[in-house]
Chains A and B, each alone.
Chain A
Amino acid sequence: MELIQQLINGVSLGSIYALIALGYTMVYGIVKLINFAHGDVFMVGSFVGFYSITVLDLSFVPALLISMTVCALFGVLIERIAYKPLRNATRIAALITAIGVSLLIEYGFIYVRGAQPEAYPNDVLPTDKFDIFGVSINSQSVLIFGVAVVLMIILQIIVHKTKIGKAMRAVSFDADAAKLMGINVNNTISATFAIGSALAGAAGVIFGIYYIKIEPLMGVLPGLKAFVAAVLGGIGIIPGAMVGGLLLGVIEALVSAAGYSLWRDAVAFVVLILILIFMPQGLFGKNKKEKV
């Protein structure tokens, strides 16, 4: 029974990682850039949700939508200002810029509103607890998992059934060829950033409701963990990010369950190292040979 309870704990945590990991993986898939500022978009999303709920007095769904919209715009803004001028620069230049953007958002945010934490109100979603065979399930974790699944399904539909999804896949496959076929590569990249950032915004609101406490540096660790999750699933591959996120959440829960809670964060990064050594393409990736 305890094991099932622990799996539920892990899946709730994992669905947040998965939502953030999707943004990493989509951006990497299309521009081959690890967007380290992604964890901070998650933080901004969480605060936008917080202010929507407390100041504008909105309920969960409108707050979620506002946060996703603001984050989508924010993501596009970051891309246009910081990454677009570097599209043809070396990859290391873009990577360093991403780290710079991340620090700028974190400390810019602290400069504007201070470093003190905020607490989400406790009554945004009902917190009923029901027991099934000795396993107590919190209605919030079910709802959170549900929202995450719905968002992932919507994402799959966008990527596979819409025109913009088709364009994204084409640009990801070969940007130059896609351009020759009349696809607007810049808009497609912006759309990718918008969708990825919107998902991070949603993850931020969910995180706030589930874990209550939010603060300006909250994005650092979940951001890195989500990056691990994306690599675990195979970076650039959307279903890989989902599975990688859930798996990482479960691994962390099991590590704590075994009594090694202080090792939890270390284990996440050990997973990253092991994956990079033994399966650099990730769980879902294809093994590509690179010509020298």
Chain B
Amino acid sequence: MKKKKLAGAFLSLTLAAGVLAGCAGSGSSDKSSGDGDTIKIGVNLELSGGVASYGQSIAEGLELATEEINKEGIDGKKIKLIKVDNKSEASEATSGAIKLTSQDQVAAIVGAATSTNSIAQVQIAQDNKIPVISPSGTSPEITFSKDKLNDYIFRTSFIDPFQGTVAANFATNEIKAKSAAIYIDSASDYSKGLADAFKEQFEKNGGKIVAEEAYIAKDTDFRSTLTRLKSDKPDFIFLPGYYEEAGLIVKQARETGLDVPFMGGDGWDSPKLVEIAGAKALNDTYITNHYSSGDPDKKIQNFVSAFKAKYKDKSPDAFNALGYDTGYFLADAIKRAGSADSTKIKEALEKTKNLQLVTGTFTLDEKHNPIKSATILEFKEGKQVFNTKINP
């Protein structure tokens, strides 16, 4: 009740801010970005709040990429990052985008980490014609919604259906699962998207979905539902949620005696997952992910050592890699555009082809989704171990 009132008050504030921002924007005609030798790039990320670890990781990766790019510069210009914190909330993501486009007049925006917060920026970006690149928003809706391409929106990650499909194939071919249960976060578009794709592919492979259950983000008690799932005796459980709840669910499942393999998407990828679930409970769980620092590929190993040098020996996670790749993805487009003009950058982004990045070599399809490979990781005593790589 209290929360709702707050949200209401907040919404009206956001609306008011929107109106004011509109006034400010119409005053100046110069839409592009930055003075002579800098290119201003907005960063709209989850730097605090529930999924802060995604946003902070992306920011670290992006900062490393920017540092490297600025050593040579793009046609003599340097990139300057302007960061706003969207506090892991969609309404804050919208007001962050308004600030970046109208007040700071950036050339492009990087963010947000989650699908929901990325979708919250779409309208602002389309109206102001500023390209937005979501580093890790995997919902198809971000770039393509209501049968229409959001032509100023891009992403660095692969999309949900792909993760769900890969997970289903992995369950059938590697785990040899005949039956599976799906347990989704009903408050998240991301979770639903993965689940739909998983279900379609798993049934196509001849498997049977024996149970579909749901929870709502911020729940803490899952034992009753898990006890119920246990009696359905699935061979495999697909749990496409975010790390806070996924960690609790895996922990409580193991306590309830539900010992089957669990699998999730990149939403599980956070050090907090291991803290919450405990290393032992996470054995026999898998995730699909964008990359693995254990992958022997040379490009990846170079990135890992550069990252470790900058961040005190910290091993980069997938969000670090995606943040880093987003930096290069954008820099490549700005270079080809030959200007910091938003519309020209957008056109150059669309033509991205065979770009060699850490999370795979990618080409953009007509829905602005990169076509690239997915990696499967297994948790062993709390460590992510490279299992296999699946190409599209």
Question: Which of B104-112, B202-210, B250-258 participates in binding chain A?
Answer: B250-258
Contact call B224/A6, Cβ cutoff below 8 A: yes
Q: How many residues of A contact B (CB 8 A)?
A: 41
How far is it, in angstroms, between the C-alpha of A9 and the C-alpha of B255 when the chains are bound? 11
Closest partner residue, chain A, to B257 (CB atom) = A136
Asked whether any CB of chain A lies closer than 8 Å to the CB of B220, the reply is yes
DSSP majority for the A interface?
helix
Contact A6 to B227, CB < 8 A, known contacts A119-B276, A138-B255, A213-B276: yes
Contact call A114/B48, Cβ cutoff below 8 A: yes
Mask for B84-122, Cβ within 8 A of A = 1, else 0?
A: 000110000000000000000000000000000000000
Contact call B256/A136, Cβ cutoff below 8 A: yes
Contact A261 to B225, CB < 8 A, known contacts A114-B48, A213-B244: yes
Task: Report the minimal beta-carbon distance from A281 to chain B, rounded to whole angstroms.
Answer: 24
Question: Which of A86-94, A234-242, A251-259 participates in binding chain B?
Answer: A251-259
Closest partner residue, chain A, to B245 (CB atom) = A213
How far is it, in angstroms, between the C-alpha of A9 and the C-alpha of B47 when the chains are bound? 35
Contact of A2 among B48, B186, B231, B255 (CB under 8 A): B231
Q: Which chain B positions have C-beta within 8 A of A6?
A: 224, 227
Question: Which of B146-154, B167-175, B211-219, B347-355 participates in binding chain A?
Answer: B211-219
Contact of A9 among B52, B215, B218, B224 (CB under 8 A): B224
Most chain A CB within 10 A, of B88, B216, B225, is at B225
Contact A257 to B244, CB < 8 A, known contacts A119-B272, A262-B216: no
Task: Report the minimal beta-carbon distance from A280 to chain B, rounded to whole angstroms.
Answer: 20
Task: Report the minimal beta-carbon distance from A267 to chain B, rounded to whole angstroms.
Answer: 12
Contact call A99/B256, Cβ cutoff below 8 A: no
Contact call A10/B272, Cβ cutoff below 8 A: no
Mask for B222-255, Cβ within 8 A of A = 1, else 0?
A: 0111011011000000000000100110010001
How far is it, in angstroms, between the C-alpha of A212 and the C-alpha of B272 when the chains are bound? 11
Closest partner residue, chain A, to B256 (CB atom) = A136
Interface residues of A in 87-124 (CB under 8 A from B): 99, 102-103, 114-117, 119, 122
Task: Report the minimal beta-carbon distance from B173 to chain A, rounded to whole angstroms.
Answer: 31
Contact of B224 among A99, A103, A256 (CB under 8 A): A256
Asked whether any CB of chain A lies closer than 8 Å to the CB of B278, the reply is yes
Q: Which chain A positions have C-beta within 8 A of B278?
A: 122
Task: Report the minimal beta-carbon distance from B281 to chain A, rounded to whole angstroms.
Answer: 8
Residues of chain A touching chain B, judged by Cβ–Cβ distance below 8 Å, are 2, 5-6, 9-10, 12-13, 99, 102-103, 114-117, 119, 122, 127, 129, 131, 136, 138, 140, 207, 211-213, 215, 218, 220-221, 224, 252-257, 259, 261-262, 265
21 chain-A/chain-B pairs, Cβ below 8 angstroms: A2-B227, A2-B228, A5-B256, A9-B221, A9-B224, A12-B223, A13-B223, A102-B2, A115-B50, A117-B50, A119-B247, A127-B255, A129-B257, A136-B255, A211-B221, A211-B248, A212-B251, A213-B244, A252-B224, A255-B224, A257-B228
Contact call A99/B2, Cβ cutoff below 8 A: yes
Asked whether any CB of chain A lies closer than 8 Å to the CB of B313, the reply is no
Contact of A119 among B2, B257, B275 (CB under 8 A): B275
Task: Report the minimal beta-carbon distance from B91 to chain A, rounded to whole angstroms.
Answer: 14
Contact call B225/A256, Cβ cutoff below 8 A: yes
Contact call A115/B48, Cβ cutoff below 8 A: yes
* Across the A-B interface, the 9 shortest Cβ-Cβ residue pairs: A256-B224, A122-B278, A119-B275, A136-B257, A9-B223, A211-B220, A253-B224, A119-B276, A261-B225
Mask for B248-279, Cβ within 8 A of A = 1, else 0?
A: 10010001110000000000000010011010
Closest partner residue, chain B, to A102 (CB atom) = B2
Contact call B227/A5, Cβ cutoff below 8 A: yes
Contact A117 to B255, CB < 8 A, known contacts A5-B227, A256-B228: no
Asked whether any CB of chain A lies closer than 8 Å to the CB of B338, the reply is no
Contact call A261/B214, Cβ cutoff below 8 A: yes
Q: Which chain A positions have C-beta within 8 A of B272?
A: 117, 119
Task: Report the minimal beta-carbon distance from A276 to chain B, rounded to whole angstroms.
Answer: 15
Contact of B214 among A2, A117, A253, A262 (CB under 8 A): A262
Contact call A103/B2, Cβ cutoff below 8 A: yes
How far is it, in angstroms, between the C-alpha of A235 and the C-alpha of B256 when the chains are bound? 34
Contact call A13/B221, Cβ cutoff below 8 A: yes
Task: Report the minimal beta-carbon distance from B145 to chain A, rounded to whole angstroms.
Answer: 25
How far is it, in angstroms, between the C-alpha of A211 and the C-alpha of B218 when the chains are bound? 11
Interface residues of B in 273-303 (CB under 8 A from A): 275-276, 278
How far is it, in angstroms, between the C-alpha of A220 and the C-alpha of B49 when the chains are bound? 16
Contact call B49/A115, Cβ cutoff below 8 A: yes
Closest partner residue, chain A, to B251 (CB atom) = A212
Known interface pairs A13-B221, A213-B244; 17 further A-B residue pairs with C-beta atoms within 8 A, sorted by A's residue number: A2-B227, A9-B223, A99-B2, A102-B2, A119-B272, A122-B278, A207-B220, A211-B221, A213-B247, A253-B223, A254-B224, A256-B224, A257-B224, A257-B228, A259-B213, A261-B224, A262-B214
How far is it, in angstroms, between the C-alpha of A115 and the C-alpha of B87 when the chains are bound? 8
Asked whether any CB of chain A lies closer than 8 Å to the CB of B312, the reply is no
How far is it, in angstroms, between the C-alpha of A256 and the C-alpha of B213 when the chains are bound? 10
How far is it, in angstroms, between the C-alpha of A262 and the C-alpha of B222 when the chains are bound? 11
Contact call A220/B223, Cβ cutoff below 8 A: no
Asked whether any CB of chain A lies closer than 8 Å to the CB of B3, the reply is yes
Task: Report the minimal beta-carbon distance from B256 to chain A, rounded to whole angstroms.
Answer: 6
Closest partner residue, chain A, to B258 (CB atom) = A136
Contact call B52/A213, Cβ cutoff below 8 A: no
Contact call B220/A213, Cβ cutoff below 8 A: yes
Closest partner residue, chain B, to A134 (CB atom) = B257
Q: Which chain A positions have C-beta within 8 A of B256?
A: 5, 136
Contact call B227/A10, Cβ cutoff below 8 A: no
Q: Which chain B positions have C-beta within 8 A of A117?
A: 50, 244, 272
How far is it, in angstroms, between the C-alpha of A213 and the C-alpha of B223 when the chains are bound? 15
Most chain B CB within 10 A, of A131, A138, A207, is at A138
